[in-house]
Amino acid sequence: METPFDIIIVGAGSAGSVIAARVTEDPNKQVLLLEAGPDYPDISETPFDLVNSHNNSYQDHDWGQAYRPTRGREVAFPRGRVTGGSSAVNTTIALRGMPEDYDEWADLGNSEWAWDNVLIAFNRLERDLDFGHEPYHGDAGPISIRRYPMAELLPQHQAFLSSARDLGYPDCNDANEPSSWGSGPHPMNKLGRLRISCAVGYLAPARIRPNLEIRANTLVRRLVIRQGRCIGVEVETVSGEVTELSARLVVLSAGALMSPAILLRSGVGPKAQLEQLGIDVVSDTPGVGQNLSDHPALSVACIVKDASIIDFDAPLIQTILRYTADGSDKRNDLQIEQISFTGKPGGRPMFAIAAVLEYQYGRGELRLENADPHVNPVVDNRFCEDERDVTRLVGCYKDALAFTRTGALADLVEQVTFPDPARPADDEAIAGFCRRICASGYHPCGTLKMGPDDDPQAVVDQFGCCHNLDGLVVADASIMPGVPRANTNLTCIMIGEMIGEWLRTSPTRYGL
């Protein structure tokens, strides 16, 4: 092994980049940040798919993952494989979720994650260019956030907001105001076309620190565990060389899919699964890979009358509607989004209206197909197996269909192509759609759930410390007890802020 580092961080994504930036503020901590994908230190040499915040990067910096949203289907699951992680390839939606989301986490035995506490981290991470003067916003953080003004909205998004008013929804100028709901512009971490990823906001200014080393194109195969303690990681370079690196503390921030996969390959997980795969059991930890939570979604597809409004180089998304399902006690548990374009360039001019379930009761699971670190895990979301999810998504889909019949947006629509107008569209038929073909909002989380040690499904405590191993912290979307009522971009960055600050200010808690 090389000379030990104080901290090795596995994964330079939305949380790992933040933690690297925060802990290296202490010049006495030697930190190694490992990333399986490439690194682009110079923004001028960064590939266009990472700069282009108008759309996701789907292939060039992707893990090639797949998931099974419902039984019998497998769908591509884009996840960022590059410094910045998924924050470097996503659509830059900067929603926080509801205060109740985090208070629910606290009620499960994670008191440090109550809304009043995480609000401090949300404020610290952002530079809100529209509402930075408000006490529930920040104005000096590394992640710049703004909303499209009306003059910058595409015609379909202007029409969407107009139809929302006609349908009785209130205007919402700031979807991150804690009590807000209704329709308005999305808060987004982008400046023009430039995506303000964690590689841009956090890593760029931290690179000059001599106590931070970033190693890209380095795959972590497994953790090195001796006598109940994680003492380092086994890594593989692109040339195939396998070595071990040691540290006083390992922080696992590889994301909700790869963090549990690394733990499973290291012998930490459900005993029966590990034995079936021929992996030596280090710790029988039943919760590893369980509790997978995400946002099921289903879209209405429309052919438009005026082909000139469909531009595949324009922003994919600009607006949002957040509201509460009839009879639900979960505020803003539904979301409808206008998607600027769909289909393929050169095909029929189309846009979509997405209905998204934001508060999910159902849970899926992640498991390994085999112990090969080059084989992606099997991801079963099991969407809409809980009838509470089906009922509310059906209602949301009907509400999305109402936009095609109301006001300015309806005036843009020549024909609804999905659902097929010739087929039944009653509640039972829509429920069938949901169970067969709903898809992910690309927000997986919960697979290494945090909670007290008397929770049999909890893998880490509220500070990210692994219950059954010393020397290991998990800090990414996998520790969320459930998906927040928001795209998870900002919540992952917030997790990095929370645990990064604890590592910096309370190192003895982590054995440093």
Tens digit of each residue's pLDDT (9 = 90 or more) over 93-139: 999 999 999 999 999 999 999 999 999 999 999 999 999 999 999 99
Across the chain, what does the average pLDDT equal? Answer: 97
Mean pLDDT calculated for residue range 272-292 = 97
What is the CA 439 to chain-centroid distance, rounded? Answer: 15
Mean pLDDT calculated for residue range 464-491 = 98
Largest CA distance in the chain: 68
pLDDT for 424 equals 85
Q: What is the pLDDT of residues 2-11, one digit of tens each?
A: 678 999 999 9
Query: Quick one: residue 440, left, alpha or beta (phi over 0 = left, psi -120 to 50 = alpha)?
Result: beta
Cα separation, 66 vs 68, in Å, equals 7
Beta strands in 43-113 (DSSP E): 66-67, 75-76
Percentage of the residues of the chain whose pLDDT score is greater than 70: 99
pLDDT for 425 equals 85
**pLDDT tops 80 at residue 41:** yes
Give all domains of the chain, ordered by start, each with its CATH number. 1-146+195-293+366-378+443-512 (3.50.50.60), 149-185+296-359+384-437 (3.30.410.40)
Q: What is the pLDDT of residues 57-84, one digit of tens each?
A: 999 999 999 999 998 899 999 999 999 9
Supply 18's token pair. Answer: 């933040």
Query: Taking the CA atoms of the chain, what radius of gyration do you get in angstroms?
Result: 22
**pLDDT tops 90 at residue 272:** yes
Supply 126's token pair. Answer: 């952002």
Q: What is the pLDDT of residues 335-359, one digit of tens each?
A: 999 999 999 999 999 999 999 999 9
Identify which of 1, 73, 8 has the alpha carbon closest to the alpha carbon of residue 510: 8
pLDDT for 2 equals 64
- What is the H or E stretch that residue 4 is in? none
pLDDT for 271 equals 97
422 pLDDT tier (thresholds 50, 70, 90): confident
Identify which of 444, 453, 461, 458 has the alpha carbon closest to the alpha carbon of residue 502: 461
Cα separation, 378 vs 74, in Å, equals 10
Residue 56 neighbours by CB under 8 Å, 6+ apart: 78, 89, 90, 91, 316
**pLDDT tops 90 at residue 1:** no
Catalogue the active-site residues: 443
- Specify the pairing of strand 283-284 against strand 296-304: unpaired
Mean pLDDT calculated for residue range 308-325 = 98
Sign of the four-CA dihedral 406, 412, 414, 418: negative
Please, are residues 175 and 322 in contact by the beta-carbon 8 Å criterion?
A: yes
Angle between helices 489-505 and 115-125 (to 10 degrees): 100
- How far CA 405 is from CA of 155, 411, 430, in Å, comes to 17, 8, 17
Beta strands in 238-371 (DSSP E): 242-252, 268-269, 283-284, 296-304, 319-323, 334-342, 350-357, 365-367
Cα separation, 235 vs 229, in Å, equals 18
Q: What is the pLDDT of residues 376-417, one digit of tens each?
A: 999 999 999 999 999 999 999 999 999 999 999 999 999 999
Cα separation, 258 vs 254, in Å, equals 5
Percentage of the residues of the chain whose pLDDT score is greater than 90: 97
